[in-house]
Amino acid sequence: MPDVSFSSLLIVCVVAVVAPALPAAIRWLRVPSVVLELMLGIALGPAGIGWVHVDMPLQVLSLVGLAFLLFIAGLEIELQSLRGRPTRIALAGYGVTLVIGLIAGVVLHQAGWVNKPLLLAVALSATSLGLVIPVLKDAGELSTPMGELIVASSTVADFGAILLLSLLFSQSSGGTASRIFAIGAFAAVIAVVIVSLSRAGRSMRFNVLFDKLQHGSSEIRVRLAVLLLIGFVALASRIGLESILGAFIAGAVLNVVDRDAMAHPDFRAKLAAIGYGFVIPIFFVTSGARLDLRALFHQPSALARVPLFLIALVAARGLPALMYRGQLESRRVAVAALLQATSLPFLVTAAEIGQLIGALSPVNAIALVSAGLVSTIAFPAAAITMLRRQSPARTPTTMAHLVDPITTEA
């Protein structure tokens, strides 16, 4: 067996336990655990006291954690929410988002702060479904017109951002034309998998076998889900696309082809246990360890980039909510704007890819992620507060989901 140290992994696992426990034990600490994981990763990494080093075990498990995070986000896609007027508004709003993001990128590029304006536009265009949906559920707003608009907009934004990042900024060799061909080939494989699994799902023998093996030591449905995830990630990487696209699509495909499993609460709970109970916290702590927070203090203007990136995020994802004014009252439009501007996991991913391909400097990467941290801490809490003032009878009195919104995904 090769000489591999698990010291850093042990420390990361300790952080994974401490991060959700702290807000539960300290009432005034209303911070999502994902934020604490990133912050503790920064503090314990090379930029802090240097206890955590991103070695091979952490690299592998972090990559699996990112894949699981996007896989579970793909599971949240509901096709019935992507029909009719909400989808048309979401698509138009995403177009506005890209335009605003590109303008922000050009302005910051002229200031010498951003190397590639288009990468910033794509990075600012996502809304985290895993953060927004639990907040809407907690507030009892998921099935309301406002909730439907936010979910449709967030779904389009997440998928569009991942697709554009894979198409325009993949780390693989080849030009845009080859990536378009790769996406076409990937789409063909997706169609074959959907048809094949759908036909198998209509087989009585197949269903009897799955019902027999879905519990106990077999856990056949969980194993199939992991196979689908790893298979799509491997295929995406093989044909020159970002693995995050494969992970996201795998979740969406599973949601389509195995509706019986999706309706079973234990199945989602088992996948969440693997993801949020193990590999996803490793991804966030490791991402924090990779961030050099000291870079923000090396330049006098470095800290000023955080509020500017935050303003750009609010403008890119929040301003399109003004398109809802004909259907929602002003307070709910503001709530939608805040929730749509809540983004962190994709910003972490885009920042890492941007650094790897030389499109983002370390100081811009940490400033961008810091802006995402602020959005995650402030925007859902502000949105819930506004909803409570409007209809206190409908909104729960606790803020449990705000303590750890990403891990409460059903």
In terms of pLDDT, which residue wins out, 133 or 78? 133
What does the pLDDT read at residue 97?
Answer: 96
Mean pLDDT in residue range 77-106: 84
Return the minimum-mean-pLDDT range out of 68-82, 219-233, 246-260, 366-380: 68-82
Select, from the ranges 10-24, 159-173, 214-228, 284-298, the one with the highest average predicted confidence (pLDDT).
10-24
53-73: per-residue pLDDT in tens? 988 889 899 989 888 988 887
In terms of pLDDT, which residue wins out, 169 or 250? 250
21-31: per-residue pLDDT in tens? 887 888 777 66
121-164: per-residue pLDDT in tens? 999 999 887 678 767 876 778 778 888 889 889 888 988 998 88
Confidence of residue 4 (pLDDT cuts 50, 70, 90): low
Confidence of residue 410 (pLDDT cuts 50, 70, 90): very low
230-263: per-residue pLDDT in tens? 999 888 888 767 777 788 888 888 887 766 655 5
Q: What is the mean pLDDT of the chain?
A: 81
Distance, in Å, from the CA atom of 151 to the CA atom of 113, rounded to the nearest integer, reads 32
